[in-house]
Chains A and B, each alone.
Chain A
Amino acid sequence: MTPETRKLALTAHITVSVGWLGAVLCFLVLSVAAFVSADVERVRALYDAMELAGWAVLLPLALASLVTGLIQSLGTHWGLLRHYWVVAKLSMNLFATVVLLLYMATFRDSTGTGPSTSVEELRDPSPVVHAGAAFGLLLTAVFLSVFKPRGVTRYGRRRRRAALETTS
């Protein structure tokens, strides 16, 4: 990649990844509001908003973060499997995206929003727990990106040795 393309790819990755973090924070706030509310209609409306946000904002941002992250690592000398911090971020991103997809697919079932459900039955800690965990996970990913803790994988060391042997 040319320096300009690399900067463009990095900007895209940061934008969608931090956007995902912000969207998760909004989802967390909505889930807390639903959990503490005593009004059935309000809880139903909050679950509707959370479902829409999940499909229209969270999932696209999660997938975009994964794709831009792959482009960013494969298109630069950081590599995908050479540094532990990149491997850790990739694992976390994959895990969070798969869990989000599975969670959204069963969101309506797990929040039990049938017409006859009472507010006690509607109030569910599950979205709070999932959104809280996702926020922690994504915040950790931000720290990994900024601090880039040291550590080259066995594969990375092999690649480096091979590159040194080629140049010498």
Chain B
Amino acid sequence: MSESPDEQDELHGEGGATPLWVKAFALAALIIVALFVVLLFTGGHGPGRHADRGGFHGAQR
């Protein structure tokens, strides 16, 4: 954090439009969340997919 925000803005120039890297970042985040939701609802994610293994806590009871 050697440059202050103002110094950095002077270096790079600040337009009103959303930068391309932010759009790419948001798209990647959206894809990851969508993938997570799909896996959650298809049973491919979470501890529930191991229910047939008899988890540690189940084995203790």
Contacts and interface: CB of A to CB of B under 8 A. Distances in A.
Q: Is the interface of A mostly helix, strand, loop or mixed?
A: loop
B55 A88 contact: no
Nearest to B17: A151
Given A76-B1, A84-B22, A157-B16, A109 B56 contact: yes
B58 to A, nearest CB: 7
A76 B55 CA distance: 47
B50 A108 contact: no
B18 to A, nearest CB: 7
A82 B55 contact: no
Contacts of A109: 47, 50, 55-58
A116 B59 contact: yes
B22 A88 contact: yes
A108 B5 contact: no
B12 to A, nearest CB: 4
A149 B25 CA distance: 12
A44 B44 CA distance: 23
How many of chain A's residues touch chain B, expressed as a range? Answer: 20 to 34
A117 B9 contact: no
Nearest to B19: A151
B44 to A, nearest CB: 11
Interface string A91-103: 1000000000000
16 contacts: A77-B5, A77-B6, A84-B18, A109-B47, A110-B49, A111-B56, A112-B54, A112-B56, A115-B59, A117-B53, A117-B54, A148-B1, A150-B13, A151-B18, A151-B22, A152-B14
Interface of B: 1, 3-6, 8-9, 12-14, 16, 18-19, 21-22, 25, 29, 46-47, 49-50, 53-59
